[in-house]
Amino acid sequence: MKAVVYKGPKDIAVEQRPDPTVQSPLDAIIKITTTNICGSDLHMYEGRTSVEEGKILGHENMGVVEEVGSGVGRIKVGDRVSVPFNIACGTCRNCTGGWTSFCLRTNPKEGMDGAAYGYADMGPYDGGQAEFLRIPYADFNLLHLPQGTEHETDFTMLSDIFPTGFHGAVLAEVGIGDRVAVYGAGPVGLMAAHSAFLLGASQVFVVDKVPDRLELAQAYGATAIDFSQGDPIEQIMDATDGNGVDCGVEAVGYQAHDATGEEHPELVLDGLVNVVRAAGAIGVVGVYPPADPGASNEGAKEGRIAWQYGTFFTKGQRMRTGQAPVKRYNRQLRDLIITGVAKPGKIVSHEVGLDEAVDAYDKFDCRVDGYTKVLLHP
Amino acid sequence: MKAVVYKGPKDIAVEQRPDPTVQSPLDAIIKITTTNICGSDLHMYEGRTSVEEGKILGHENMGVVEEVGSGVGRIKVGDRVSVPFNIACGTCRNCTGGWTSFCLRTNPKEGMDGAAYGYADMGPYDGGQAEFLRIPYADFNLLHLPQGTEHETDFTMLSDIFPTGFHGAVLAEVGIGDRVAVYGAGPVGLMAAHSAFLLGASQVFVVDKVPDRLELAQAYGATAIDFSQGDPIEQIMDATDGNGVDCGVEAVGYQAHDATGEEHPELVLDGLVNVVRAAGAIGVVGVYPPADPGASNEGAKEGRIAWQYGTFFTKGQRMRTGQAPVKRYNRQLRDLIITGVAKPGKIVSHEVGLDEAVDAYDKFDCRVDGYTKVLLHP
Amino acid sequence: MKAVVYKGPKDIAVEQRPDPTVQSPLDAIIKITTTNICGSDLHMYEGRTSVEEGKILGHENMGVVEEVGSGVGRIKVGDRVSVPFNIACGTCRNCTGGWTSFCLRTNPKEGMDGAAYGYADMGPYDGGQAEFLRIPYADFNLLHLPQGTEHETDFTMLSDIFPTGFHGAVLAEVGIGDRVAVYGAGPVGLMAAHSAFLLGASQVFVVDKVPDRLELAQAYGATAIDFSQGDPIEQIMDATDGNGVDCGVEAVGYQAHDATGEEHPELVLDGLVNVVRAAGAIGVVGVYPPADPGASNEGAKEGRIAWQYGTFFTKGQRMRTGQAPVKRYNRQLRDLIITGVAKPGKIVSHEVGLDEAVDAYDKFDCRVDGYTKVLLHP
Amino acid sequence: MKAVVYKGPKDIAVEQRPDPTVQSPLDAIIKITTTNICGSDLHMYEGRTSVEEGKILGHENMGVVEEVGSGVGRIKVGDRVSVPFNIACGTCRNCTGGWTSFCLRTNPKEGMDGAAYGYADMGPYDGGQAEFLRIPYADFNLLHLPQGTEHETDFTMLSDIFPTGFHGAVLAEVGIGDRVAVYGAGPVGLMAAHSAFLLGASQVFVVDKVPDRLELAQAYGATAIDFSQGDPIEQIMDATDGNGVDCGVEAVGYQAHDATGEEHPELVLDGLVNVVRAAGAIGVVGVYPPADPGASNEGAKEGRIAWQYGTFFTKGQRMRTGQAPVKRYNRQLRDLIITGVAKPGKIVSHEVGLDEAVDAYDKFDCRVDGYTKVLLHP
- Give the residue on A whose Cα is nearest the Cα of D25: A71
Q: What is the 3-state secondary structure (H, E, C) of chain B?
A: CEEEEEEECCEEEEEECCCCCCCCCCCEEEEEEEEEECHHHHHHHCCCCCCCCCCECCCEEEEEEEEECCCCCCCCCCCEEEECCEECCCCCHHHHCCCHHHCCCCCCCCCCCCEECCCCCCCCCCCCCECEEEECCHHHHCEECCCCCCCHHHHHHHHCHHHHHHHHHHHCCCCCCCEEEEECCCHHHHHHHHHHHHCCCCEEEEEECCHHHHHHHHHCCCEEEEHHHCCHHHHHHHHCCCCCEEEEEECCCCCCECCCCCECCCHHHHHHHHHEEEEEEEEECCCCCCCCCCCCCHHHHCCCCCCCHHHHHHCCCEEEECCCCHHHCHHHHHHHHHCCCCCHHHHCCEEEEHHHHHHHHHHHHHCCCCCCCEEEEC
Which one of A24, A27, A79, A96 would you mutate to disrupt binding with D, by most D Cβ within 10 Å of its Cβ?
A96
Q: Which residues of chain C have pLDDT under 50?
A: none
**Triad A13, A17, A22: Cα angle to 5°:** 135
Contact B334 D200 (CB under 8 A): no
- How far is A107 from chain D, CA to nearest CA, in Å? 14
| Tens-digit pLDDT profile for residues B225-273 | 999 999 999 999 999 999 999 999 999 999 899 999 898 999 999 999 9
Is the pLDDT at A369 greater than 80? The verdict is: no
Q: How close, in Å, is residue A132 to chain D by CA atoms?
A: 23
Strands C245-250 and C276-284: parallel
To probe the interface with A, which of C158, C202, C243, C341 has the most A CB atoms within 10 Å? C202
Beta bridge partners of A64: A31, A80
Question: CB of D160 within 8 A of CB of D101?
Answer: no
Nearest to A25 among D70, D92, D140 (CB): D70
- Beta-carbon separation of B200 and D202 below 8 A: no
Q: Do B314 and A289 touch (CB under 8 A)?
A: yes
User: Chain A interface residues facing chain D, Cβ-Cβ under 8 Å?
Assistant: 24-26, 69-71, 73-74, 89-93, 96, 98, 105, 139-140, 327, 331
Mean of pLDDT values over A225-254: 97
The CA radius of gyration of chain C, in Å to the nearest whole number, is: 20
Q: pTM to 2 decimals?
A: 0.97
Phi/psi region, residue D100 (left: phi>0; alpha: psi -120 to 50; beta: rest), is alpha
Residue (of C272, C292, C26) closest to C134 by Cα position: C26
Which chain C residues have any C-beta within 8 angstroms of a chain D C-beta?
A: 94, 97, 99, 101-102, 113-114, 171, 254, 266, 269, 278-279, 284, 287-292, 299, 302-323
pLDDT at B278 over 80: yes
Q: Which uninterrupted H or E stretch holds A232? A: helix A232-239
Least Cα separation, residue A90 to chain B (angstroms): 16
Query: Number of A:C CB contacts under 8 A?
Result: 62
Local mean pLDDT, 10-residue blocks, chain D (378 residues): 96 97 98 96 88 96 98 98 98 97 95 93 96 98 98 98 98 98 97 98 97 96 97 98 97 92 94 98 96 84 95 98 98 98 96 96 88 93
The pLDDT of residue B38: 94
Distance CA B199, CA B176 (A): 7
B-contacting chains (≥3 CB pairs under 8 Å): A, C, D
Contact across the interface for A91 and D26, Cβ inside 8 Å: no
Residue-level pLDDT at D138:
98
Query: Residues of B with CB below 8 A from D178's CB?
Result: 332
| Chain A residues with CB within 8 Å of chain B CB | 94, 97, 99, 101-102, 113-114, 171, 254, 266, 269, 278-279, 284, 287-292, 299, 302-323
CA B37 to chain D, closest CA, distance in angstroms equals 26
Residue in D25, D74, D93 closest to A25 by CB: D25
Nearest-angstrom CA–CA distance, D142 and D80: 9
Which residues in chain D have their CB less than 8 angstroms from residue C287's CB?
Answer: 313
Please answer yes or no on whether C74 and B90 come within 8 Å at the CB atom: no
Residue B307 near residue A269, CB atoms below 8 Å: no
**Subunits that touch chain A (at least 3 Cβ pairs < 8 angstroms)?**
B, C, D
Number of Cβ pairs closer than 8 Å across B and D? Answer: 62
| CB neighbourhood size of D291 (10 A) | 14
Residues of C in contact with B139 (CB under 8 A): 89-91
pLDDT of residue A371: 87
SS3 state of residue D115: strand
Measured between CB atoms, which of B202, B339, B341 is closest to D339? B202
**Average pLDDT of the segment spanning A292-300:** 83
Give Cβ neighbours of residue C347 (< 8 Å, ≥ 6 apart): C157, C187, C190, C191, C216, C372, C373
A327 contacts D105? CB cut-off 8 A = no
Q: State the pLDDT at residue B184.
A: 98
Give C201 to chain A, closest Cα distance, Å. Answer: 8
Nearest of C23, C187, C45, C47 to residue C129 by alpha carbon: C45
Q: What is the largest CA-CA distance in chain C?
A: 62
Residues 6+ apart with CB under 8 A from D114: C278, D86, D100, D101, D102, D103, D106, D107, D122, D323
Residue A298 has pLDDT above 90, yes or no: no
Mutation target among B24, B91, B105, B326 for the C interface, most CBs of C within 10 A: B91
Strands B318-321 and B276-284 come out as parallel
- Judging contacts by C-beta atoms under 8 Å, the chain C residues touching residue B91 are 74, 90, 139-140
B contact test, residue of C22, C23, C24, C26 with most B CBs within 10 A: C26
Between B48 and C290, the higher pLDDT residue:
C290
Distance CA B142, CA B62 (A): 9
Contacts of D180 in chain B (CB under 8 A): none
Q: Which chain D residues touch C298 with a CB distance below 8 Å?
A: none
Vertex A362, ends A360 and A364: CA angle to 5°? Answer: 65
Residue B50's pLDDT is 86
A55: burial class by Cβ within 10 Å (0-12, 13-18, 19+)? Answer: buried
Cα(first)–Cα(last) distance of chain C, in Å? 10
Residue numbers in D near B163 (CB within 8 A): none
Contact D279 C308 (CB under 8 A): no
Distance from CA of A276 to the nearest CA of B (A): 13
Q: Given a cut of 80, is residue B39 above it in pLDDT?
A: yes
Q: What subunits touch chain C, counting only 3 or more CB pairs under 8 A?
A: A, B, D
Contacts of C98 in chain B (CB under 8 A): 98
Smallest CA–CA distance, residue D140 to chain A, in Å, is 5
